[in-house]
Structure 1
Amino acid sequence: MNGLSSQNYVESNREHFCATSPGLCGSGYTCYLSVPCPVHFELGCSANACYGLPCENGGQCSNNGGSNFTCLCTYGYYGSVCEYVDSCLVAPCLNGGTCNRVASDYSCSCTNRYIGTNCETDCRPGPADILFIMDASFSADKQFNDSKAIVTSIVNKLSIGIDDFHVAILKYSFDVSVEFSFNTYTNKTAMIAAIDNITAIAGPSYLDKALDKAKEMFSSSSTFGARSQVFQYTIIISDGLSTLRTEAVYDAQVLRSQGVKILAIGNGEQVDQTELLQLATASQYVFPGGKEDNVADVIFMETVSSNCADCTLNNMVDILLLVDVSQYQNSLQQTLDAVKDLIYKALEYNSNTHVGMATFDLTTQFKFSLNQYTDRDAILLNSQIGMSSTNRNSNVSAALEFARESGFTGSRSDARKILVMFSNEDWSDRDKIIQQRQSLSMNNVTVAFVTVGRSADLETAFTVAERASDVFYIEQNTDLVRLYALVAQTTHVECPDEIFDIRQ
């Protein structure tokens, strides 16, 4: 009988019987059953490795001379002796991912926009419909080109396309004008050219009319091209000085109830953060002009799966408070109340906030440094004790210079740096103040000015600030809510510039 063709010549028999005669075959030889019948078996040795049945899972063995052999595996198996299940045969990797065998398991190498075990999660932001509402009234007329630049900057970061981001724009003054609808442009170059051609309208600021139109544009029966199964955003660019604020706030609430998130960007000769905070979905959706990168990054982070990690929330911030205690600060106690309120709100909102404080008149000195206190109660206590006005003049520009040179000593390298100056008047060195503020801005320090009380030189504050939204006017306690817009800047989203291309 031919041993290799016998139905009883199976690997388990060979292993069992060959194991009873260890050392039977020398080096280079394989033990096999020359007579494989279980009762009358005989052992033999052969240089043909295939006699040892090395191929598993039904694989066919081909002798390549001597002890060399090749296994031809049956469907679904691979390996030198067909020992592994080929899990890649079922094509588990989605969206163009490449399947890699890992023994009887697999791993997927995903294309650059997908992640997940099977490349199932799309980490490309969007799609979303974004409606820009631009204040084109008299109060914002001089800053209208800045508003257009803000819109252009955000659009430039988006991926515009049929299945991607859609953008619509309307402007308002006495009336509302739809500049273009969601389905007007699918080409970014043409869209930006259209934005550049938008002009302002002198007149009152009826934001409520614009929000009424926004509700219509996002409605299910809209003829403006809004999509029902995508994220929906409204970005309001305004100075917060609406003619009919109550009506505007109500219309914003209705729009939010429809599932549309509202973001607000402060821009104008003056900015009232109170209205912007009432319009936006939450305080973290209120932004100063010049932070439009943060606006786009928030949308990017929200329009991808929570499993995607390209965008991160940076909550590391170092805040230095500069408090004017000169003889002209007639509202020092009110100022200290505002200081206390800001510290409390900032630390409650973001526990990763470090706070330092310095006081100044003609000279500036630390009350406590950024790293001196980490306990909120200690920070609050030391911001209040021993505080009184002096009989000296103030030097605002010198205080800013102190902040630039020494104020952020010990600041964390990855922390956002915010300088908050509390001062009301005696700003005679306006040009030097602007120069120092610009130097701080070049060092990536955001400079905010808080003026307190009726005696505050608000006009000068708006003049020396980089943007009007960096000025916070506190006349009475109810105005302290405006500081929430400043507190919101203690966290920000960071996304890579190549968010539509890369995959980490």
Structure 2
Amino acid sequence: MNLGINIYRHTLTQLKVQDENLIMSEILCFLVEKKPAGRDVVFLLDGSESTRTGFPAMKDFVQRVVETLSVDDNKDRVSVVQYSRDPAVQFYLNTYTTKGEVLDTVRGLRHKGGRPLNTGAALQYLRDNVFTASAGSRRLDGVPQVLILLSGGRSFDSVDAPASALKHLGVLTFAIGTRSSEMRELQKIAHDPNHAMAVSEFTDLPTVQQQLQSSLETAVIDVSPESPTVLGMLTSESAFQL
């Protein structure tokens, strides 16, 4: 009698292990199939009067970063917004589908001009109008959202609430400023204080490009969508109670 019970229990244990392996296999296949490819990258450029002479260097920097992205196969999408007193969208995430189109448009950008520099208002605008599905954002599909800010001075308005709103949205922000910028402000804007960088002039942007590239690749992994909570089933004995 005891032998029969032991065989029965052993059989149930084997079935439980098999079920766990089956579910794990199915979940891993799901994660591989659903893993988001690429990034949505938005450049926010300071187009105020103080950056007029540095604007060509800003455009060159954007072009160099775009060259490293995979736009042609739609893994990566790019948007550029220029701002001073008010933001002005140069193109949205879903405007262009090829790297050539993006690069051609960036080369042809004209300096916006104007004052004062309202970085806070620009950040809020991005949250409400650019990092949205209608503008081409794939945030709801789990695609990492990246913002690269180039600023040449201190903001006239507060950046606290808008920066916090972008972080809450899951946007990975890198803030790069010149010596006229305030590092403390850049650190508030950045997703992580270490993602705030400074250069003397915009012509020195190439010196931080590799740092940006390395941080971007590492950080995107850190903020990628978490695995489905169904994984918790595997640690719950109650899921296989017989």
TM-score with structure 1 setting the length: 0.37
Partner of residue 41 from structure 2, selected from 298, 319, 327: 319
| 1:62-92 Cα shifts (integer Å, max 9, x gaps) | xxxxxxxxxxxxxxxxxxxxxxxxxxxxxxx
In structure 1, the residue matched to 2:65 is 342
Deviation of the 1:317 alpha carbon: 2.7
In structure 1, the residue matched to 2:155 is 427
Greater CA radius of gyration, 1 or 2? 1
Q: Is contact 1:393–1:426 with CA below 8 Å preserved after alignment? A: no
Number of residues of Structure 1 aligned to a counterpart in Structure 2: 209
Q: Percent sequence identity over matched residues? A: 17
Deviation of the 1:385 alpha carbon: 0.8
In structure 1, the residue matched to 2:120 is 397
Q: How far, CA to CA, are the matches of 2:161 and 2:81 in structure 1?
A: 20
Q: Is contact 1:310–1:495 with CA below 8 Å preserved after alignment? A: no
Q: How does 1:82-93 map to 2 (within 5 A)?
A: none
Partner of residue 467 from structure 1, selected from 182, 192, 207: 192
Matched, 1:446 2:175: no
Q: How far, CA to CA, are the matches of 2:82 and 2:167 in structure 1?
A: 21
Q: How far, CA to CA, are the matches of 1:331 and 1:95 in structure 2?
A: 71
In structure 1, the residue matched to 2:146 is 418
Deviation of the 1:351 alpha carbon: 5.0
Q: How does 1:279-290 map to 2 (within 5 A)?
A: none
In structure 1, the residue matched to 2:211 is 482
In structure 1, the residue matched to 2:239 is none
| 1:118-173 Cα shifts (integer Å, max 9, x gaps) | xxxx86xxxxxxxxxxxxxxxxxxxxxxxxxxxxxxxxxxxxxxxxxxxxxxxxxx
Cα RMSD of the aligned pairs, angstroms, is: 3.3
Closer, same or farther: CA 474–311 of 1 in aligned 2, 3 Å: farther
Deviation of the 1:336 alpha carbon: 1.8
Q: Is contact 1:418–1:446 with CA below 8 Å preserved after alignment? A: yes
Deviation of the 1:486 alpha carbon: 4.5
In structure 2, the residue matched to 1:58 is none
Q: How does 1:49-448 map to 2 (within 5 A)?
A: 96-98=13-15, 110-112=18-20, 114-115=21-22, 308-309=28-29, 311-312=31-32, 313-329=35-51, 330-347=53-70, 351-388=74-111, 390-408=113-131, 409-412=135-138, 413-414=140-141, 415-429=143-157, 432-448=158-174
| 1:26-77 Cα shifts (integer Å, max 9, x gaps) | xxxxxxxxxxxxxxxxxxxxxxxxxxxxxxxxxxxxxxxxxxxxxxxxxxxx
Closer, same or farther: CA 345–96 of 1 in aligned 2, 3 Å: farther
Closer, same or farther: CA 456–335 of 1 in aligned 2, 3 Å: farther
Matched, 1:457 2:185: no
Closer, same or farther: CA 493–434 of 1 in aligned 2, 3 Å: closer
Q: Is contact 1:322–1:420 with CA below 8 Å preserved after alignment? A: yes
What are structure 1's unaligned runs of at least 5 residues?
A: 1-93, 99-107, 117-121, 124-306
In structure 1, the residue matched to 2:6 is none
Matched, 1:495 2:215: no
Structure with higher strand content: 1
Q: How far, CA to CA, are the matches of 2:136 and 2:112 in structure 1?
A: 28
Closer, same or farther: CA 314–474 of 1 in aligned 2, 3 Å: farther
Q: Is contact 1:424–1:457 with CA below 8 Å preserved after alignment? A: no
Q: How far, CA to CA, are the matches of 2:152 and 2:184 in structure 1?
A: 11
Deviation of the 1:337 alpha carbon: 2.1
Q: Which residue identity lines up with residue 346 of structure 1 in the other structure?
A: L
Corresponding residue SS for 2:70: helix
Deviation of the 1:391 alpha carbon: 4.5
What are structure 2's unaligned runs of at least 5 residues?
A: 1-10, 236-242
Q: Is contact 1:328–1:426 with CA below 8 Å preserved after alignment? A: no
Q: How does 1:32-47 map to 2 (within 5 A)?
A: none
| 1:346-367 Cα shifts (integer Å, max 9, x gaps) | 337x951111111111111110
In structure 2, the residue matched to 1:139 is none
Deviation of the 1:372 alpha carbon: 0.7
Structure with higher helix content: 2
Corresponding residue SS for 1:309: helix
Q: Is contact 2:44–2:148 with CA below 8 Å preserved after alignment? A: yes
Deviation of the 1:324 alpha carbon: 0.9
| 1:171-213 Cα shifts (integer Å, max 9, x gaps) | xxxxxxxxxxxxxxxxxxxxxxxxxxxxxxxxxxxxxxxxxxx
Deviation of the 1:95 alpha carbon: 11
| 1:453-500 Cα shifts (integer Å, max 9, x gaps) | 444433431244342023233553232101213431456474234546
Closer, same or farther: CA 473–497 of 1 in aligned 2, 3 Å: farther
Q: Is contact 2:160–2:189 with CA below 8 Å preserved after alignment? A: yes
In structure 2, the residue matched to 1:205 is none
Q: Which residue identity lines up with residue 481 of structure 1 in the other structure?
A: Q
